[in-house]
Amino acid sequence: MLLDALNPHPADGLLALMSLYAADTRRSKLDLGVGVYRTEAGATPVMTAVKQAEWKLLQAQGSKSYLGPEGDLEFVRALQPLVFGATLVADLGARLTGVQTVGGTGALRLAADLVAGASPGHVLWLGTPSWPNHTPVFAASGLRVRSYRQFDAAAQGFDLAATLAALERAGAGDLVLLHGCCHNPTGADPSAEEWEQVIEVIVRRGLLPLVDIAYQGLGRDPESDAWALRRLVECVPQALVAYSCDKNFGLYRERVGALYVVAASGAAAAAASSHLAAHARASYSMPADHGAAVVRTILGDASLRAAWSEELRGMAARVNGIRGALAALGQVGAIELSPLARQRGLFALLPLPAAAIERLRIDHGVYMAGSGRINVAGLSMGAVARFGDALRTVQTAVAA
Ligand X SMILES: Cc1ncc(COP(=O)(O)O)c(C=O)c1O
Residues involved in catalysis: 131, 212, 247
Looking at the Cβ atoms of 244 and 320, the one nearer to ligand X is: 244
User: What amino acid occupies position 231?
Assistant: R
Report the residue from 97, 156, 184, 371 that binds ligand X according to the rule CB under 6 A: 184
Looking at the Cβ atoms of 356 and 368, the one nearer to ligand X is: 368
Report the residue from 214, 241, 322, 357 that binds ligand X according to the rule CB under 6 A: 214
Give the span between the Cα atoms of 298 and 54, in whole angstroms: 9
48-87 binders of ligand X (CB under 6 A): none
Q: How many CA atoms lie within 13 A of 11 on its CB side?
A: 8
Q: How many residues bind ligand X (CB under 6 A)?
A: 12
Report the residue from 103, 129, 222, 388 that binds ligand X according to the rule CB under 6 A: 103
Report the residue from 31, 159, 212, 289 that binds ligand X according to the rule CB under 6 A: 212
Looking at the Cβ atoms of 122 and 255, the one nearer to ligand X is: 255
- Closest contact distance (angstroms) between CB of 101 and ligand X is 8
Q: Judge contact between 82 and 299, C-beta under 8 A.
A: yes
Strand partners, 213: 243
Cβ-proximal residues to 338 (8 Å cutoff; 6+ apart), any chain: 327, 330
- Closest contact distance (angstroms) between CB of 255 and ligand X is 6
Looking at the Cβ atoms of 216 and 297, the one nearer to ligand X is: 216
| 105 near ligand X, judged by CB under 6 A | yes
Q: Contact region for ligand X (CB under 6 A) — 45-53, 99-107, 146-154, 189-197? A: 99-107
Per-residue binding string, ligand X, 263-302, x by CB under 6 A, is: ----------------------------------------
- Closest contact distance (angstroms) between CB of 35 and ligand X is 5
Integer Rg of the chain from CA: 21
Q: Judge contact between 218 and 376, C-beta under 8 A.
A: no
Looking at the Cβ atoms of 92 and 214, the one nearer to ligand X is: 214
Give the span between the Cα atoms of 131 and 239, in whole angstroms: 20
Start-end of H helices in the chain: 13-23, 48-60, 73-84, 86-92, 103-118, 134-140, 160-169, 192-205, 222-225, 227-235, 266-283, 290-299, 302-328, 354-364, 381-399
Strand partners, 262: 96, 239
The SS3 of residue 220 is coil
Q: Judge contact between 154 and 189, C-beta under 8 A.
A: no
- Closest contact distance (angstroms) between CB of 109 and ligand X is 9
| 244 near ligand X, judged by CB under 6 A | yes
Looking at the Cβ atoms of 84 and 252, the one nearer to ligand X is: 252
Q: Contact region for ligand X (CB under 6 A) — 101-109, 147-155, 264-272, 392-400? A: 101-109
Per-residue binding string, ligand X, 125-144, x by CB under 6 A, is: ------x-------------
The SS3 of residue 367 is strand
11-50 binders of ligand X (CB under 6 A): 35
400: buried, middle or exposed (CB in 10 Å: 19+, 13-18, 0-12)? exposed
Strand partners, 146: 125
Looking at the Cβ atoms of 156 and 184, the one nearer to ligand X is: 184
Residue nearest to ligand X (CB): 103
The SS3 of residue 348 is strand
Long-range Cβ pairs for the range 357-361 (8 Å, 24+): 359/394, 359/397, 359/398, 360/390, 360/391, 360/394, 361/20
Q: Which residues bind ligand X (CB under 6 A)?
A: 35, 103-105, 131, 179, 184, 212, 214, 244, 246, 257
